[in-house]
A and B are shown apart, each in its own frame.
Chain A
């Protein structure tokens, strides 16, 4: 289980090269990054997974895009929409992470979607940039929404991921500070440790229903 930041944006989206991001992430205690629009590889001892984020796309386009990148080792994330959209996305084979629930409708992620996420091993992302950059109402709303997600997570045990959405090395935070930040939403250190390894759970090959012995 590797400590993973589930979403960073290196150059050209951000202002830091993927190598520099890896160098800084290593110093801050990470072992893996999921980077948007970056080829997979290992740099300075940090594993980088290529990731794509699909947003504002109809389901048909999402399915088509996932078919093209399936089995390429790409981490596929979809930005959340309304409840019906989220339930459909969770059911699509090949989707790894559902993001942006802090900005979605309040009823966008309910107990039915939570159970489906647990069954299909789709991770729900907690975007830490909302806690770092937000002030006032926007941060309060994110904390409230994340606490609500954690209630469902404790009941249905779907995977969680933590992501900084860093566009610069200046937006990355040490693992210790992220643990402190997550205490705001009621996560203890073991919860944070599990959430850091959420990418491992969601990208692991599924266990076969039948095991052949001998």
Chain B
């Protein structure tokens, strides 16, 4: 089957999405199912069939999600209802929308910052409990409680640790 001429092709838009919390690796297929379920649950099969959401690329924390042109707003509302993926509590933050994947890849290269700072993998105390610093970007510090069970993830700032 030959490809259609550009004027007859479906017009698409691509959304650049940041997955939070930092350091979580999400399977692309699992994310596709989560996006599809969220769109269908919120808008129903008829509108989801018009949006045609698809996860087309991922680069660490960033993913690119495709939709039909004109449905970006509907898709972004549906994406805001995603709270878990593969049994992990996550949130999707929309950063940009574009008509080409290349533009978004360029944007990822521009905004991507080097990984965790030197504080990473250090231990710290918070609320009389021992935590391991998992991520540290700017003033934001994500810590994981040390131990075999109840190893909760907490979201703190540098000031929270200095206060103690």
- Chain A contacts for B80, CB-based, 8 A: 132, 173, 177, 180-181
- Chain A contacts for B54, CB-based, 8 A: none
Question: Complex Cα distance A17/B91, Å?
Answer: 18
Which chain B residue lies CB-closest to A183? B77
- Chain A contacts for B42, CB-based, 8 A: 184
Q: Number of A residues whose C-beta is below 8 Å from B?
A: 29
Also in contact, A23 and B157, with CB within 8 A (given A12-B127, A15-B152, A168-B89): yes
Q: Which of B126-164 contact A (CB under 8 A)?
A: 127, 139-140, 152-157, 159-160
Also in contact, A132 and B140, with CB within 8 A (given A12-B127, A20-B157, A23-B157): no
| Pair B41/A170 contact, Cβ less than 8 Å | no
Question: Complex Cα distance A24/B153, Å?
Answer: 16
- Interface residue B116 (Cβ < 8 Å from any Cβ of A): no
- Interface residue B76 (Cβ < 8 Å from any Cβ of A): yes
Question: Complex Cα distance A169/B93, Å?
Answer: 12
| Pair A171/B83 contact, Cβ less than 8 Å | yes
A176 to chain B, nearest CB (A): 8
| Pair A17/B154 contact, Cβ less than 8 Å | yes
Which chain B residue lies CB-closest to A182? B77
| Pair A171/B91 contact, Cβ less than 8 Å | yes
| Pair B83/A19 contact, Cβ less than 8 Å | no
B28-60 contact mask (Cβ, 8 Å, vs A): 1 or 0: 000000000000011000000000000000000
Q: Which of A84-134 contact B (CB under 8 A)?
A: 131-133
- Interface residue A136 (Cβ < 8 Å from any Cβ of B): yes
- How many residues of B sit at the interface, in one of the four size bands? 20 to 34
> What's the count of A-B pairs with C-beta under 8 Å?
71
Also in contact, A170 and B83, with CB within 8 A (given A15-B153, A20-B155): yes
Question: Complex Cα distance A11/B159, Å?
Answer: 14
Also in contact, A11 and B83, with CB within 8 A (given A19-B160, A170-B89): no
| Pair A23/B20 contact, Cβ less than 8 Å | no
B26 to chain A, nearest CB (A): 13
- Chain B contacts for A139, CB-based, 8 A: 41
| Pair B154/A177 contact, Cβ less than 8 Å | no
Q: Which residue, of A20, A23, A44, A132, has the highest number of chain B Cβ atoms within 10 A?
A: A20
| Pair B21/A170 contact, Cβ less than 8 Å | yes
Also in contact, A23 and B89, with CB within 8 A (given A16-B154, A132-B80, A177-B76): no
- Chain B contacts for A19, CB-based, 8 A: 156-157, 159-160
> What are 6 of the A-B contact pairs (CB < 8 Å)?
A11-B127, A11-B154, A24-B155, A168-B155, A173-B80, A174-B93
- Given A139-B41, A181-B80, 8 additional A-B pairs, CB 8 A: A15-B153, A17-B156, A19-B157, A19-B160, A23-B139, A133-B83, A171-B91, A183-B77
